[in-house]
Structure 1
Amino acid sequence: MTRKLSDFPLYPLLLAAYFPLYLMSADLGMTNLVDVVRPLAVCVVLALAATWALGRVLRDVHRAALWVAMAFIVIFDFRLLQQMIDGALSFWIKELPGIYALAAMVVVALLIGWRARPGANVTRIANVIVAVMVAFPAVSLAQRALVVNTAVAGGQQSAGQTDAAFDAVKDGGERPDIVHIVLDGYSRGDVLARYYGFDNSAFLDGLKGMGFAVADRATSPFSQTLQSMTSIFTASDLDGVGGDRTGAELRDALRDRLKHNPVMGTLDRLGYQTAALDIRYDPVRMDQLDRLLDRHPLSNFEVTGLRQTVFYPIALKLGLREASVPPETFTKPYERELTGPYFLYMHMLTPHPPFDITRNGEVLPPEGGFWSMNDGSHYTKHQPEREESYRRGYVEKLVYTNDGILSLVRRVIGEAKRPTIVIVHGDHGGGKHFDHDSAEQSCMGERFAPLLAVYSSDGRLQQALPPDINLTNLYRVVFNTYFGTDMPMLPSRSVFIGWKRPEQRRVITPEEIARSCGGS
C-alpha cells in the first residue's frame, strides 16, 4: 500500500473527472452548470471503486490505476481515437468500421496493461500531467460560474419596458386554452419546394381544412433557436439582453430571460395552468412551469455524455434505438392532464437533426452513426453529398412529423370543450444551406422562412394574423386579440447570430431573404 498521498494514483479519478468537465466547458452555455455535478461525482466514484477493487485483485495499486485509466480512455475517448485512426489510415481506407477501431484500441490497452509495471514515480508523473489537463476546463467553468449571476442580471436589464406592456392585460372574458407547438427547423412551403424539392401542400391544406390560417410570408427574428424563442416569448427584439456579455455568459443571460418571460408569466398570473413537454434540448426546456410532462430521468447533459462514450455505438449495433421524437409524442393526450385554462408548450426536435426516423416511423441509426443535433454547416460541412444526406433525412422526418401533427391538432380541436388556440410554427427554417458562423455562406431565404399556422375556435386569431408576420410579433397579436392589450407591432427584423460568438449580430435585409440561393 502507498503511504504518501503524492504516491497514490489520483490520475484515474482525474481522468474520470476530465470527461464531464471538458464536455461542459465545450458546451458554449447551452446547459446549466449545475448539471455537471452528478455525472462528475458518478465518474469519480466509479474510478475510485474500480481502482480499489482491481488493486486488491492485482495486489498492485499502481498497475490497477493504469488499467482503470486505459479503460476510461477507451470508454470516453473512443470517438476521438477513432477519428485519429481514420485520419492516419485515410491514405489506404476512407473510414475504418467502428468495431475494428474499437477492437484495435482494446488490444493495445490489454497489451499495455499486461506488460507494463508502473511504480510510484510513474504515478507521480501521471498525477501531475492529468491534474494539469483537468485544470483547464475546471478553471474555465469556475470563471463562468463566477459571472453567471451578473450575466443573468444583464439579461434582465432590458426586461422592464417590454414586460410592462403585458401589465395592461385585462382579466375579463373567457380565457382560451393555448397549445403552442414548435417544430424545430421547419421551413415554409415555398422554401421546401425551392430547396428541398418537396411539395408540402397536402400538410398545409390539411391544417387549413381544420380552420388554420397559414402565414405564407412569415419570417424568423433570429437564426438560432435560443434567440428566436426568447424573442417570441418576450415579444421583443432582445436589444440589450445580456449587456456586453459574450459567449457562454450571453447564452446564460438569454436562457434566464427565456425562462422568466412575460408571456408565460402573465398567463400564470391570469390563472393559467402552465405545462411543457420535456425535451432533449436545455435552452428551451421549461422546467420552471407548473408541470414538466414526461420528465426524463437523466439530464440532457448526462445523455449527451453517454452518447459520447463507446457504449452508444455498441447500443446502435444491437438495435437499441429511440427516435428523437417518438410516435407517442403525437398520440399521447397531454392536454387531457391539464385543467383549463391551460397553456401547453410542446417544442419538438423535428424536422431538425438527428435524422433518425423514416416517414413511416421506422427508427434508424442517425446519419453518421451517432445521435447528433448538428445542424447546418456542422452537419453538411458544405459537402454536396452531405447536403443531399441532409435533404433526404429532413424530408423523411418532416413527412413523419406532418402525419403526427395533423393527428395531434385534430384531436385537440375535436375534443376541445373550451375556447382554444393552437399555434404551430418553426423557430427558424432548415439548415441545408446554412453556415453557423458565416452569413455570407448562408442561404437567408431558407433559414429565416419558418412555418407558421394558427387556429382559434372563434376565428379571431386567424383574421388578425398578418401573412408577413415576423415571429417576434406573434404574442403581440395573441394578447392584443384576446387579452385587451394594445401593443404595437415591432418592425420586422431578422438577425444572423454567430454560433461560436453569439454576441456577433448582423441584420439581414428583406432583399437577402427574398434572394434565391442558386437552386435546391
Structure 2
Amino acid sequence: MSMRKIRPVRRIFEICLSVVVLGLFSGVAFLNFYRINFESLEGASRTLRWYFMVLATAIVISLAAKAVFRSFPIARIFLVAAVISFMAFSYDEIKMLVSHDEIKTLVGDDNFLKFSVGCWAVATLLIGVLVGIFSRQAVVLPTMALVGIIYVVPAAMSLVQARAHPVTVNDPKALALTARRTPNVYWIVLDGYPRQDVLQEFFNFDNEPFVQSLKGLDFTVYDHALASFPETIFSISSTVSLGFLVSGTGSSLKMPPSAELYRAVRGQNVVVNTMRSMGYRYIHFENGYDNLTQCPMEGAICIKGNVQSDGGVIQFDEFNLAVLSKTPLMDLIAAFANRSADQSPFMKGAVHELTNKLSSVPEHGEPFFLYAHVLAPHPPIRFRRDCSVRVVTPDLVDWNSKDRSAFLDQLGCVNDEAIALLKTVVQRDPQAIIVVQSDHGTAFRGQFKKPFDAWDQLDLKERFGALNALRMPAACSSYAQGTVDLVNTFSRVLSCISDRSLPDKVSRQFVVWHGDMTSVHEYRMDSE
C-alpha cells in the first residue's frame, strides 16, 4: 500500500482512537459514581444521561476548537479534551489534597473555596498544556488509551460482579394486628435535631421554650430518648423495623446490605406494611433533595416539597449535586454568590415546605400514615435565625465546629417553623397521632473522624441523644408513658391503633464502619 493511502487510514485510526480515549476519560467519574451508588439508585439512566451530556459537550467544544486552530490535528484536540473532562470531575480530590488546617489558616476560611478552585484550575491548565505539547509524539495516543482502560476496567469488573450477584431482599411481613381505632398518623423527622439536655450541655443552649411549646400542644417529650444508630439510613431503618437489624454477636456483628436499608427507608418495611394491612394509606413526603428519602417507585402516595415553582432558581436534587460536587461548580457558586440573596440554588429542606403541602395530604383519603423527613436542622447551615437563606455548599457530611453558633441560629428557625406546622396539624386533625423526632443528634466533636470503635461517652451522648416527642389521642395516653427510644416509637403507635400493648426493645447503640458499611461496633452508654 502506498504512503498516500496509508496516511489517511492512519489519520482516521488516530481520530477514532482519540475519540475512544475521550470516551474513556470522560466516563471514569460516572462509572465510579454508579459503581459506588448503584444499590441506592433506581437504575443507571440518570448516570448515563450525565455521561453522554458531558461526552457530547466535550466533542462539540473540540470541534469548535478545531475550527479556531485549523492547523492543530483534531485527534490531539480530543486528547486535550479527554484530560480536561477527567480533571473536571477530579476537583473533589484536589480539594481534599489542599484541605489542611495549615493551608486554611494561611489563606483564610473565607478564601479557601477560591483557593481550591484556583489550585484545580492551575492543575487542569498545566496538564492540558502538557498533553497538547507532547501529543505530537506517536506514543502518547496509545499510552493514553491504555491508561483509560486501566482506569475503567477494574471499576467495570467490580460493577459487573456486583450486578451478577444481586442482593436478595425480602418484603418485610406485616405484624398480625387489627385496628381498633384509626387516627391519622404524622411522622415528622427533623434531621440531626439534638435532645434538650444535649443542647444545654454541649451548646449552652436553653431549648426549654421549644419543649414547653410541644408540651402545650399535648406532646409527651422524652428527656432520655436515644437513637440506636448515629446515621440516617441505619437509624430510620431501625425505627421502621421495630428492631436493630444487626446479626451475629460480639465482634462479628453485621448490618444487612445497603439495598435492604434503602428499601426500608423508602417504605418497604414492617411499620408501613403493618399500617397498610390495617387499612392505612402510606403518604411519603419527598423533600425534593435527599436521594435517601426519595419516594419509592411504587406503593406510596408521593408528595414532593422543595420543588421549583417560580422558574427563578434552579433546584438541584442530591443526585445532581453529588455529580456536580465533583466539579468546581458548586464551590464557585457558593464563593461568588450574592450573600444577601433570598434564594439558594441548592436544596433548602425547610419545615415550611411540609407545612405548605399539608392541605393536600387528606385529599388522598383517610386514614393515612404520613412520613416526612425534613433535612433541617442538619448541616449545611443554610438558614439564619429569621429563616432567611444562607448560600452555602450543599455538604451533608461536614459538622464543622466553627459552625456551632450558626447551627443554633438554624435550630431557632426550625423551632419556629416546627411549632407553626404542629399547631396547624393539631387544629386540623386533633385526634391524630403525631410523632416529632430526630434520627440522631449532632457530631461537632468530630466523631466521624475517629475510628468507629473509639468513640467516648461524650461522643456517644452528643450523637445518640435525639429529640423524640409523641402526641396521642386521649384514649391512648397510657401508651405514651415512660421513656421511648427511637426504635420503640412505632411499638407505641401501633399499640394505640390496635389497642394491644407491644413490648419495647431494650436500648442498644451501634456504630457502623464506613469501610464496608456492614461491620458494627456496639457501645454501652453510661446510664443517665
TM normalised by structure 2 equals 0.81
Structure 1 window deviating more from structure 2 (502-511 vs 203-212): it is: 502-511
- Deviation string 1:259-284 (CA, Å, 9 cap, x unpaired) is 31121123233333322222433333
Query: Cα distance 1:85–1:73, how it changes in 2: closer, same or farther (>3 A)?
Result: farther
1:37 aligns with 2:37: no
1:146 alignment partner in structure 2: 164
In the alignment, which of 260, 264, 276 is matched to residue 268 of structure 2? 260
1:518 alignment partner in structure 2: none
1:348 aligns with 2:374: yes
- Within a 5 Å distance, the mapping from 1:328-339 to structure 2 comes to 328-338=352-362, 339=365
What root-mean-square deviation, in Å, do the aligned CA atoms of Structure 1 and Structure 2 show? 3.3
Query: Cα distance 1:402–1:182, how it changes in 2: closer, same or farther (>3 A)?
Result: same
CA distance in structure 2 between the aligned counterparts of 1:15 and 1:110, rounded to whole angstroms: 13
1:406 aligns with 2:419: yes
2:471 alignment partner in structure 1: 455
- Deviation string 1:369-388 (CA, Å, 9 cap, x unpaired) is x321115xxx4xxxxxx42x
- Deviation string 1:40-68 (CA, Å, 9 cap, x unpaired) is 34333433444455456545221221332
In the alignment, which of 187, 194, 198 is matched to residue 201 of structure 2? 194
CA distance in structure 2 between the aligned counterparts of 1:488 and 1:87, rounded to whole angstroms: 50
CA distance in structure 2 between the aligned counterparts of 1:91 and 1:403, rounded to whole angstroms: 35
2:491 alignment partner in structure 1: 476
Query: Cα distance 1:196–1:25, how it changes in 2: closer, same or farther (>3 A)?
Result: farther
CA distance in structure 1 between the aligned counterparts of 2:511 and 2:27, rounded to whole angstroms: 36
Structure 1 window deviating more from structure 2 (20-29 vs 309-318): it is: 20-29
In the alignment, which of 355, 358, 362 is matched to residue 384 of structure 2? 358
1:203 alignment partner in structure 2: 210
Aligned-partner residue type, residue 44 of structure 1: L
In the alignment, which of 313, 319, 324 is matched to residue 348 of structure 2? 324
CA distance in structure 1 between the aligned counterparts of 2:323 and 2:409, rounded to whole angstroms: 27
- Within a 5 Å distance, the mapping from 1:92-107 to structure 2 comes to 93-94=106-107, 97-98=114-115, 100-101=118-119, 104-105=122-123
Task: Give the CA deviation at 1:139.
Answer: 2.4
2:310 alignment partner in structure 1: none
CA distance in structure 1 between the aligned counterparts of 2:317 and 2:65, rounded to whole angstroms: 30
In the alignment, which of 371, 374, 377 is matched to residue 394 of structure 2? 371
- 8 Å CA contact 2:316, 2:347 repeated in 1: no
2:23 alignment partner in structure 1: 13
Task: Give the CA deviation at 1:353.
Answer: 1.5
Task: Give the CA deviation at 1:112.
Answer: 4.7
Task: Give the CA deviation at 1:254.
Answer: 2.0
CA distance in structure 2 between the aligned counterparts of 1:225 and 1:179, rounded to whole angstroms: 19
Task: Give the CA deviation at 1:73.
Answer: 3.8
CA distance in structure 2 between the aligned counterparts of 1:482 and 1:234, rounded to whole angstroms: 17
In the alignment, which of 48, 66, 77 is matched to residue 64 of structure 1? 77
CA distance in structure 1 between the aligned counterparts of 2:101 and 2:356, rounded to whole angstroms: 49
- 8 Å CA contact 1:464, 1:481 repeated in 2: yes
CA distance in structure 2 between the aligned counterparts of 1:217 and 1:89, rounded to whole angstroms: 40
Task: Give the CA deviation at 1:347.
Answer: 0.5
Aligned-partner residue type, residue 504 of structure 2: M
Query: Cα distance 1:12–1:328, how it changes in 2: closer, same or farther (>3 A)?
Result: farther
- Within a 5 Å distance, the mapping from 1:67-146 to structure 2 comes to 67-84=80-97, 90=103, 93-94=106-107, 97-98=114-115, 100-101=118-119, 104-105=122-123, 108=126, 111-112=129-130, 118=136, 121-146=139-164
For the residue of structure 2 that corresponds to 1:332, the secondary structure is helix
Task: Give the CA deviation at 1:306.
Answer: 1.4
Query: Cα distance 1:361–1:301, how it changes in 2: closer, same or farther (>3 A)?
Result: same
1:427 aligns with 2:442: no
Aligned-partner residue type, residue 154 of structure 2: F
- 8 Å CA contact 1:76, 1:308 repeated in 2: yes
- What percent of counterpart residues are identical? 19
- 8 Å CA contact 2:229, 2:511 repeated in 1: yes
CA distance in structure 2 between the aligned counterparts of 1:191 and 1:88, rounded to whole angstroms: 28
1:271 aligns with 2:294: no
Aligned-partner residue type, residue 235 of structure 1: L
Task: Give the CA deviation at 1:205.
Answer: 0.6
Residues paired across the two proteins, number: 484
- 8 Å CA contact 1:63, 1:116 repeated in 2: no
Task: Give the CA deviation at 1:133.
Answer: 0.8
In the alignment, which of 273, 294, 313 is matched to residue 304 of structure 2? 294
Query: Cα distance 1:503–1:414, how it changes in 2: closer, same or farther (>3 A)?
Result: same
Aligned-partner residue type, residue 272 of structure 2: M
CA distance in structure 2 between the aligned counterparts of 1:214 and 1:427, rounded to whole angstroms: 15
- 8 Å CA contact 1:282, 1:300 repeated in 2: yes
CA distance in structure 1 between the aligned counterparts of 2:510 and 2:143, rounded to whole angstroms: 50
CA distance in structure 2 between the aligned counterparts of 1:294 and 1:64, rounded to whole angstroms: 44
CA distance in structure 1 between the aligned counterparts of 2:424 and 2:480, rounded to whole angstroms: 23
- 8 Å CA contact 1:78, 1:310 repeated in 2: yes
- Where does the alignment leave 5 or more consecutive residues of structure 2 unmatched? 1-7, 308-314, 339-343
CA distance in structure 2 between the aligned counterparts of 1:312 and 1:357, rounded to whole angstroms: 18
For the residue of structure 2 that corresponds to 1:324, the secondary structure is coil
CA distance in structure 1 between the aligned counterparts of 2:510 and 2:294, rounded to whole angstroms: 23
Task: Give the CA deviation at 1:409.
Answer: 0.8
CA distance in structure 2 between the aligned counterparts of 1:485 and 1:13, rounded to whole angstroms: 61
Query: Cα distance 1:188–1:67, how it changes in 2: closer, same or farther (>3 A)?
Result: same
Task: Give the CA deviation at 1:207.
Answer: 0.8
Query: Cα distance 1:200–1:426, how it changes in 2: closer, same or farther (>3 A)?
Result: same
CA distance in structure 2 between the aligned counterparts of 1:92 and 1:219, rounded to whole angstroms: 37
Aligned-partner residue type, residue 4 of structure 1: F
TM normalised by structure 1 equals 0.82
For the residue of structure 1 that corresponds to 2:389, the secondary structure is coil
Aligned-partner residue type, residue 462 of structure 2: E
